[in-house]
């Protein structure tokens, strides 16, 4: 966990020297989690760790430390080191700005893409937070990358109704390493590569359901897949939607199979729909 490194991001050091920002919104940027402490210094006890991408309200600065409110209700939660707070994904407007996902926005995306009201048994507050943090961790932190990421998530999760492939891969060559997570991680070799990259061991091979049982594992696995395993950000920046679809889904519009062509058309349409939705922010 991070909170008191001597070598700090230049932008964050400048932020630490700035005057009080009242209740400005920030996001934590320590990949391994940021220590929340009971006082403004490393000598104070750790209250808990804040996962990467946690949204916080900065209430007051004390040197290089900040008093934060995590819930936005005005109650103080503790102090964090200002070097690990970032405003790059704030709610400021602009055509290229990343838009943090909340429950309302997520429901809008679900409904618009499906063409009607979607009811999910998942906790949409949890899903929205997980999507936001996964995108930040994956460096899908501008508008085009966000649209690309969400346009594939919405179909892979059946409009955010499940992180679990229907049928559990029954009869498929890749079972039991069937689709799990926001982009449906599949095949044993992929699980092994993900596990070693994220954890340095084979725990996802021995227990692939960790992606379903622990939202933090889901976030890390999804971010690794998007950013590192099949680096999609470059394709998203180029608006190469069909190549994103092919690398994630494996299908092209020229496929002789009608079902594949239909899936590609749907994925294209979801990209257009989500891009339009986010254009209003």
Domain residue spans in the chain? 10-86, 103-278
Per-residue confidence (pLDDT) for residue 95, from 0 to 100:
79
What confidence tens digit (pLDDT) does each residue in 26-36 have?
Answer: 888 887 889 99
H helical segments located in the chain: 10-17, 103-114, 124-137, 143-156, 188-198, 203-206, 210-213, 215-224, 233-237, 241-249, 258-278
The whole-number average pLDDT for the span 220-246 is 95
The whole-number average pLDDT for the span 233-261 is 97
- The dihedrals phi and psi of 122, each to the nearest 5 degrees, come to -75, 155
The whole-number average pLDDT for the span 252-269 is 97
Topology (CATH level 3) of domain 10-86: SH3 type barrels. (2.30.30)
What confidence tens digit (pLDDT) does each residue in 127-152 have?
Answer: 999 999 999 889 898 999 999 999 99
Angle between helices 241-249 and 143-156 (to 10 degrees): 40
Residue 252 pLDDT level (bands cut at 50, 70, 90): very high
What confidence tens digit (pLDDT) does each residue in 51-75 have?
Answer: 888 888 899 989 889 999 988 788 8
**Burial class for 58, CB neighbours closer than 10 Å (0-12, 13-18, 19+):** buried
Residue 245 has pLDDT above 80, yes or no: yes
Average pLDDT over all residues of the chain: 88
Please give the angle made by the CA atoms of 207, 263 and 157, to the nearest 5 degrees.
35
- Residues sharing a CB contact under 8 Å with residue 54, sequence separation 6 or more, in sequence order: 27, 28, 34, 70, 133
Query: How many residues appear in the chain?
Result: 281
DSSP secondary structure code for residue 20 in this structure: P
Task: Indicate the pTM of the whole model.
Answer: 0.74
Per-residue confidence (pLDDT) for residue 125, from 0 to 100:
93
Contact in structure between 239 and 222 (CB atoms under 8 Å): no
Residue 11 has pLDDT above 60, yes or no: no
How far apart are alpha carbons 86 and 186 in whole angstroms? 33
Strand partners, 60: 67
What confidence tens digit (pLDDT) does each residue in 89-117 have?
Answer: 544 457 788 999 999 999 999 999 999 99
**225 vs 12: which has the higher pLDDT:** 225
How far apart are alpha carbons 205 and 195 in whole angstroms? 7
Residue 10 has pLDDT above 70, yes or no: no
Q: Does domain 103-278 have CATH number 2.40.10.340?
A: no
Per-residue confidence (pLDDT) for residue 281, from 0 to 100:
83
């Amino acid at each position: 966990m991070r909170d008191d490194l001597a070598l700090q991001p230049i932008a964050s050091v400048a932020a630490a020297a700035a005057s009080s920002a009242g209740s400005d919104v920030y996001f934590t940027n320590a990949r391994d989690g940021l220590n929340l402490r009971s006082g403004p210094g490393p000598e104070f006890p750790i209250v808990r760790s804040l996962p990467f991408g946690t949204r916080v309200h900065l209430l007051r600065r004390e040197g290089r430390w900040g008093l934060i409110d995590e819930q936005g209700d005005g109650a103080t939660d503790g102090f964090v080191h200002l070097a690990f707070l970032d405003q790059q994904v704030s709610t400021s407007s602009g055509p290229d700005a990343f838009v943090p996902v909340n429950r309302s926005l997520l429901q809008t995306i679900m409904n618009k893409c499906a063409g009607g009201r979607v009811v999910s048994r998942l906790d949409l507050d949890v899903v929205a937070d997980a999507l936001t943090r996964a995108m930040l961790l994956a460096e899908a932190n501008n508008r085009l990358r966000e649209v690309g990421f969400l346009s594939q998530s919405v179909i892979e999760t059946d409009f955010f109704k499940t992180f679990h492939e229907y049928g559990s891969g029954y009869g498929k060559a890749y079972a039991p390493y069937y689709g799990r997570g926001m982009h449906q991680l599949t095949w044993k070799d992929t699980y092994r590569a993900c596990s070693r990259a994220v954890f340095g061991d084979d725990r996802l091979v021995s227990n692939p359901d960790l992606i379903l049982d622990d939202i933090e594992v889901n976030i890390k696995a999804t971010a690794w897949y998007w950013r590192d395993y099949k680096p999609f950000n470059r394709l998203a920046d180029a608006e190469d939607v069909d190549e994103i679809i092919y690398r994630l889904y494996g299908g092209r519009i020229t496929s002789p199979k009608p079902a594949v062509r239909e899936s590609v058309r749907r994925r294209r349409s979801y990209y257009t729909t989500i891009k339009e939705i986010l254009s209003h922010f």
